[in-house]
Each structure stands twice: as C-alpha cells, then as structure tokens.
Chains A and B, each alone.
Chain A
Amino acid sequence: MKLTRAAARAWEGDGLLGRSLRLLGSAEDALLVIILAVMIGLASWQIVARNVFDTAIIWADPLLRTLVLWVGFLGAVAAARDDRQINVDVVSRFVDEPWGSRIRVVTDFFTALVSGFLAWQALRFVKDAREYGEIAFASVPLWLTASVLPVAFTVLCVRYLLLTGFHLRRSFGGEGEE
C-alpha cells in the first residue's frame, strides 16, 4: 500500500518532529530546484564557452558530477517522503489490510536499519576525508561534496522509522484509517 502525499502528514505526525520534518521537506524541495537550475545553467554555459569562446571552466565538469550526486540523493529523500521508492510490488497489490500494513512494518523497519547503517558508514567516510584533507576538485574538499550522503541516509532512516511506527499503529486497527 502506497501513501499519498497528503497522507504524509498522518505518518509524520503533528508533533515537533513532524513539523520540523515538513519544514525540512520544504528546504529539500527548494534545494532540489536550485541545484537542478544550477546544473542546467552550468552545463549550458560549458557548451557555449567551448564552442564560441573556445574555453571551458575546468572545475565545471567535476562540479556537475558532484551536483548529480546531490540532486540524486535529495531526490531519493523526497521519494521517501512521498513513499515512492522503487520497489517490487508483487505482494502488496494482492494483500488486504491489515496485512498490508503488517508487511510494511517489517520492510519499513528493515529500510530504516539499512539507512541508519549507511548513514554511519558515510559519516566515517566524510570524517576520514576531512582528517586526511582530501580534495574533490579545484580546492573543494571531499568531505564537503560527500557530506550529502550521511545527511541523506540519516533523513531516510528517520522517515522510515516514522513510517514503521505509522504502519505499526495501522496494523492494530485504531488510528490511521482513511
């Protein structure tokens, strides 16, 4: 069972966490739009510069590659917010409530665990990069370009924990019936 965007309020809740998450969601959306706009602008400028002025900004290509990573992971976080991660929906189409929610408790909690673990490993990666002063390109440090990974996986972990809680409540009847 997929949750619609409107239903996101229900699982994020109206508490402080839910409200901060929604605020965070708006910030993610804004950042997604800005990064994509910068990517379009920079990629187009590169073409003009290369063909008309016969020059190119050296750091533009590695920057563009980094922005792909950023836009991808912010997009993945947004996909989790809409509950639209790519999955195999063989079983879910043929299962009725409350079993749909009970299955979701298992899969959501598993996803939260994996995301949490990845957040931790990504944080170690970023810390190491900072310690050794590794450079991504030009004079931009690697820890900065890679920092989107621990942040994104942490948010994914929190969102899937909340989804777990939501489906736990639903699977025992009670609240959440639409």
Chain B
Amino acid sequence: MILTGLLLLALALLGAPLFAVIAAGAVFAFGRADIDQIAVAMEIYRIADTPVLLAIPLFTFAGFILGESRAPSRLVRLSDALLGWMPGGLAVIALVTCALFTAFTGASGVTIVAMGALLYPALRDAGYRENFSLGLVTTSGSLGLLFAPSLPLILYGIVAEVSVDRLFIAGILPGSLMVLALGLWSFREGRFLTRTTAARPAFSAREAAAAVRAAIWEIPLPIIVLGGVYSGFFAVSEAAAVTVIYVLIVEVLIYREIPIKALPGVMRESMVLVGGILVILGASLASTNAMIDAQIPMKLFDFVTAHVSSKLTFLILLNIFLLVLGTMLDVFSALIIVVPLLLPLAAGYGIEPIHLGMIFLANMQIGYCTPPVGMNLFIASYRFDKPIVTLYRATLPWLLILFACVLVITYWPWLSMVLVQ
C-alpha cells in the first residue's frame, strides 16, 4: 500500500499526467478493498450528475474570448482616466484591472499575457523601477482568484459541496484585502516616484468620458454577472450562460474584434483547458470514494488530532502545507485532490468550509509565484524575456505582502464569514 503510494508519487513528480496517477490510485484502492473495478468508471460518470459544473466550460470560453479581444486595453484606458491622477495611480490601476480580469478569465496565465503586455511598458514609461514593475505584473496574474466568478472559486464550491453563491460573497473582503495591501505598497512606491520623475497627468473629464464611451459595452458585464448572482436572480450556471452570450455579442458582433471564423479555434482551445481539469476531477471522484471506503480521511483525522491539539497549531501547519503544495501543483489539481481530505480535518477543528476555501485559495495564489515551479514566473519570464532569477527577486516583496494577507485571512475568520452570515 505504502509502496504503491510512493511509486505513484514518484510517477507524478516525474511528470505523468495527474489524471492517470489519481485514477491508478483509485484502481489499486478498489482492488485492495475487493470492490469491482467497474466502480471507477461509475464514479467518473458522476461528472454528468453535477449541476454547477456547467458553469466551468461556459465561463472558461467567455474568458478566452475576452482574452483574445482588445477588452484589456479598453479596461486599462478606462482605469487610467479614472485613477491615473493619484500617486502610484498607474500601479493601482494595474492591480485593479488585473484582479478584475483574472476573476473573469480564471487564473490561467491569460492575465499576464494580455494585461501584462500593456501594463509593463506603461509602468516602465511612467518611471517605475524595473523590479517593481515586473513584480507587480507577475503577482497580479493570480490576483482576483477570490473574486466571483473565478473558476477556482466555483470548483471549490463543487468539490466541497458548499453553495457557490455564498463563496462568491465570502471572497469579497479577503480579495479586497489583498488588492488593498498591494495598492498601499504601490502608493508608497508612487510617492517616492513623484520626487524623482515627471508629474502624473491631471484628471481630465473629457478623457474619462471618452474612455467610458469606448468601453461602454463591457462596463455592464461585471454588474450583470455579479448583480445577477448576488441578488439571486441567476443561478451560477445561468450567469455563466448569460456571460457567454453577452461577451459573444459584444466582442464578435459589436466591436468585431474576433472574426466569426476564428471562434471555433477559440472554442477548441478553451475546451482543452476544461478537459484537462474535468478528467482530473473524474479520476478524483473515484479516488476520493476509494479513500473514504478505506477510511483514510478518518485515519488522517485521528492521526492529526492525536498530534495537533490546538486550532492555532493546525492552522499554522495548514498554511505551511498549502504553501508547499502550491509550489508543486496548479490550483485546479490541488483543489480537486486535497480539499476532500482537508474538509473533515478542518471541520474537526471548527473551521467553516467557506473559511477553509478562502484560506486554501489565498495560499494557492501565492503558490502561482513561488519557485521552483510557480506558473506566473514562467509565463512572465517568457513574456517579458527576463531570466527567472530576476523574477524571483522582483516578486519577493509582493509575495511577503500577500503572505501577510494570507495570515490575516487564516487567523481572522470574521473577514471571510461576516458577509455570508
């Protein structure tokens, strides 16, 4: 049993597709428990019995369309016109727009490619230090993970069987805390900047009006989606359908930035990502069930409660574990594989599933930028043509701030729970 586990772990570390590793685990576990292996297929088929799952292909596709269009440049222009006058304004704009864009496109690297390409040169032109600018665009690639309708948030709801609507609401404060903390850091940098380089543009009502007009069709999107879900008018999967239709009409028919001929390609590309996630989800439905049959969550629970007495110690260990996990696994796989094991544990220490979700995602967000394998580092290194070691250094202060936010989110449940209660 332990030998099989180690062998599978080795295969996973060597780069075997995770779905195969997890499915193999389920097959062995069912075999040991003398359960007919047909159960693996039956468990995978349960994907077809999960209603909220519909939101994932729809939101992913909508995000891909937004990424292909010129929506990022309109968003930057709009925020520049509204916030550009304040100290560190451009940096704050970068943070806010990246967070918004990531919430809609899922933290799949699209933000760094689409927004970073606009924001990095703009930041450099405005006189921000290279390391500051690089750190900002790299860490912002996963900022917004806690804001609706981000895919990891939806996926956590599905895996943990928590209402996705409530998660959407719970994420508002912890997500805002991260944007605010990084915003203050940028503000400080911006004040330092004004003493050395030229002045910022003054607020111009004319430019603001023009920027609003340019983005007039995209501005209602967050309002429709978030307003619809928060007010209970739409279910999450309905909001996803509305988003797709709305984005299609705006980007394809009104702005005409994506030719209809290009749509099948975008559809296929987005479904490759969805397929990669769903096949892991299917395999882990089977492995989770096999683990429950083998009473592994129970044994894990007994082991941990025997060694960890206080909630505080548990939370510290949880943070360390999730940070390490985040350096190895992407947020989707980590969620699907680890959350079913963590839920009963966390419940034992009196941690609400919603709070656990916030802790989990906030930690994973840092994992996107930590060496050796943080995805944002590689995308930024490739996109901005900088050595990866430069990026390690550039992101460090940003990561420290995010880490402080993670600690606040972890040890102050009020922040995650006050809006849902």
Q: Which residues of A contact B (CB under 8 A)?
A: 29, 32-33, 36-37, 39-40, 43-44, 46-47, 61, 64-66, 68-69, 71-80, 82, 84-93, 103-104, 106-107, 110-111, 114-115, 117-118, 121-122, 124-125, 128, 136, 145-146, 149
Contacts and interface: CB of A to CB of B under 8 A. Distances in A.
Given A114-B20, A124-B38, A91 B278 contact: no
A75 B281 CA distance: 13
Given A61-B51, A69-B48, A88 B329 contact: yes
The 10 A-B pairs of least Cβ separation, nearest first, read A75-B275, A72-B278, A85-B17, A43-B241, A76-B275, A76-B279, A107-B16, A125-B41, A75-B271, A69-B48
B251 to A, nearest CB: 14
Of the listed residues A72, A82, A84, A93, the one surrounded by the most CB atoms of chain B closer than 10 A to its CB is A72
B328 interface: yes
A128 B11 contact: no
Q: Which bracket fits the contact residues of B?
A: 35 or more
Contacts of B271: 32, 36, 71, 74-75, 78
22 contacts: A33-B268, A39-B58, A65-B48, A65-B54, A68-B47, A75-B272, A76-B19, A76-B275, A78-B271, A79-B279, A85-B17, A86-B280, A86-B333, A88-B15, A88-B373, A107-B11, A107-B17, A111-B20, A114-B20, A122-B44, A125-B41, A128-B38
A106 B16 CA distance: 8
Contact of A84 (B15, B20, B49, B272): B272
A68 B53 contact: yes
Interface of B: 11-20, 23-24, 27, 37-38, 40-42, 44-45, 47-51, 53-54, 56-58, 61, 234, 237-238, 240-242, 244-245, 248, 264, 267-268, 271-282, 328-330, 332-333, 372-373
Contacts of A104: 15
B47 A69 contact: yes
Main secondary structure of the interface of B (DSSP, over half): helix
A91 B13 contact: yes
Contacts of B48: 65-66, 68-69, 136, 145-146
A40 B14 contact: no
Contact of B15 (A64, A89, A114, A136): A89
Contacts of A121: 37-38, 40-41
A112 to B, nearest CB: 9
A128 B282 CA distance: 20
B241 to A, nearest CB: 4
Given A71-B57, A110-B16, A114-B27, A149 B241 contact: no
Contacts of A40: 58, 61, 241, 244-245, 248
Main secondary structure of the interface of A (DSSP, over half): helix
Given A44-B245, A125-B42, A73 B278 contact: yes
Contacts of B57: 36, 39, 68, 71-72
Contacts of B328: 88, 90
Contacts of A76: 19, 275-276, 278-279
Given A43-B241, A65-B53, A115-B20, A92 B15 contact: yes
B280 A65 contact: no
Nearest to A114: B20
Nearest to B245: A44
A146 B38 CA distance: 13
A33 B238 contact: no
Given A44-B244, A107-B11, 20 more contacts: A66-B48, A68-B54, A75-B274, A75-B278, A80-B17, A86-B19, A88-B15, A91-B14, A92-B15, A93-B372, A103-B14, A106-B16, A110-B20, A114-B20, A118-B23, A118-B27, A118-B40, A118-B44, A121-B38, A149-B45
Contacts of B41: 118, 121-122, 124-125, 146, 149
B417 to A, nearest CB: 31
Nearest to B7: A110
Contacts of B50: 65, 68
Contact of B275 (A37, A72, A128): A72
Nearest to A42: B241
Nearest to A36: B267
Contacts of B13: 88, 90-91
A103 B12 CA distance: 11
B17 A43 contact: no
Contact of A111 (B16, B276, B277): B16
B54 A64 contact: yes
A42 B177 CA distance: 38
A131 to B, nearest CB: 13
